[in-house]
Amino acid sequence: MNAQVVERPTSVEEVSQLLRDTDGTVLLRGAGTALSWGGRVAGTDLTVDTRDLTGVLDHTAADMTASVRAGTTLAELQAAVGEHGQWLALDPPTEGAGATLGGLLAAGDSGPSRLRHGNLRDLVIGVTLVLPDGTVAHSGGHVIKNVAGYDLAKLVHGSMGSLALVAEVVVRLHPRPAESVTTVGDADADQAADAAARLTASTLEPTAVEWFTTGDAAAGRLVVRSDGSPVAVAVAAAGVEAVLGQAGVGGSTCPPEEVPVLWDELARAVVGEQDETVVRVATLPSDLAVTAAHARRTAEAAGVRFRMASSAALGLHTLRLAGAPAAVVAVVDGIRGHALARGGSVLVRHRPDDVDSLVDALGPPPSSVALLRRVSDQFDPTGRFAPGRFEPWYGRTPA
């Protein structure tokens, strides 16, 4: 099969027939916002593009559930259910780039609201998959309490298109907040970590606690969002300012007209630029300051430009590096060694071509690698989908 073949099916049946009628390796893609994450997939025989597999199939407002085809963008779903005062409580930085529901589930991508609402894995209650041989599999349903059967949605969350094509997704929704207030203040990493710990221990229940650097200096901005009824949000905002003050952060309410600009700036800080190597680090939330300090020292010593954004209360950090390829790779290795020593993990999400051949995108395999390999063997025994995505952890030469 020609390596340039791209198919854009419009239904589950078309996907199934396409995979039954073809052989060779396959790349699954939606908007392509996470195609560079993990190991590179190159030279596949067929690309299955899901962006025509679109549409809201059902929205039961009374039950607060919606069923959508997986090529539907998150923005399209939010607009549809927003007419009924509801939303899917997910706000990934790639939403503006057209991220699709299937792509977000496969990538395991989330956003600041994960602190309060969890990630997409927690919000999906049903899924329809198409396996590499064209078999169609269903899991879950349209009822939130339906727990019958094997939970395929959780299995494919973060699988990066290596197990199955996500064709349809059923999600549970939340009421759209009547009011939202964003509190912002200047803070270094130590202050941000202290404030995040205090907020997490309080009764304020912020929707998001984010921190990002604003230039070459070590200081940055701490951003806290509070959602709810007007009265509850007013109380929460005052409480957030008080807690930030205890951490030495002079927080204040962001003017409404500046809120979208602030959150867009944060989204760009997470996604990064094309010439940057973007590294995702997961640690204990209490390790924010030590992670930031070590990464900055390592980058400065190598002459590499460093930027950082962090979901401070969750311990999820995005590091952006730019410089000579060998120096960037040395910094990635240093960051990974430090994180692993503290029980964390590191994934390279994006890197320029001149860095790609030098860097280890995945790092050492996790203790669960044998289980992951067995799952992969069950779903894709011939290694047809996304070859190379999880190599060298596991992978096979396609039959």
* 27, 47 contact by CB (below 8 A): yes
Written as six digits, the tokens of 296 are 């900055």
Share of the chain above pLDDT 90, in %: 92
CATH of the domain at 183: 3.30.70
User: What helix, strand, coil percent values describe the chain, rounded to 5?
Assistant: 35, 25, 40
CA angle 256, 245, 251 (to 5 degrees): 20
Is residue 142 predicted with pLDDT exceeding 70?
no
Encode pLDDT of 269-279 as tens digits.
Answer: 999 999 999 99
Encode pLDDT of 322-363 as tens digits.
Answer: 999 999 999 999 999 999 999 999 999 999 999 999 999 999
Same domain, 115 and 14: yes
Same domain, 68 and 121: yes
Same domain, 9 and 155: yes
Same domain, 248 and 389: no
Same domain, 184 and 276: no
Same domain, 388 and 254: no
Same domain, 240 and 388: no
Is residue 1 predicted with pLDDT exceeding 50?
no
Mean pLDDT value across residues 49-64: 97
Mean pLDDT across the chain: 94
Work out how many domains the chain is built from and give that number.
Answer: 3
Is residue 144 predicted with pLDDT exceeding 60?
no
Same domain, 28 and 120: yes
Residue 120 CB coordination number (10 Å): 27
Mean pLDDT value across residues 147-176: 90
Same domain, 281 and 356: yes
Same domain, 311 and 197: no
Encode pLDDT of 214-273 as tens digits.
Answer: 887 788 999 999 999 999 999 999 999 999 999 999 999 999 999 999 999 999 999 999
CATH of the domain at 315: 3.30.70.600
Residue 102 CB coordination number (10 Å): 29
Same domain, 96 and 16: yes
Written as six digits, the tokens of 163 are 């197990």
Q: Where are the alpha helices (DSSP H) in the chain?
A: 12-21, 74-82, 101-107, 114-117, 120-123, 152-156, 189-201, 230-246, 259-271, 288-302, 325-341, 353-356, 369-379
Same domain, 189 and 308: no
**pTM of the predicted model as reported, rounded to 2 decimal places:** 0.93
Q: Residue 77: give the domain boundaries.
A: 1-176+365-399
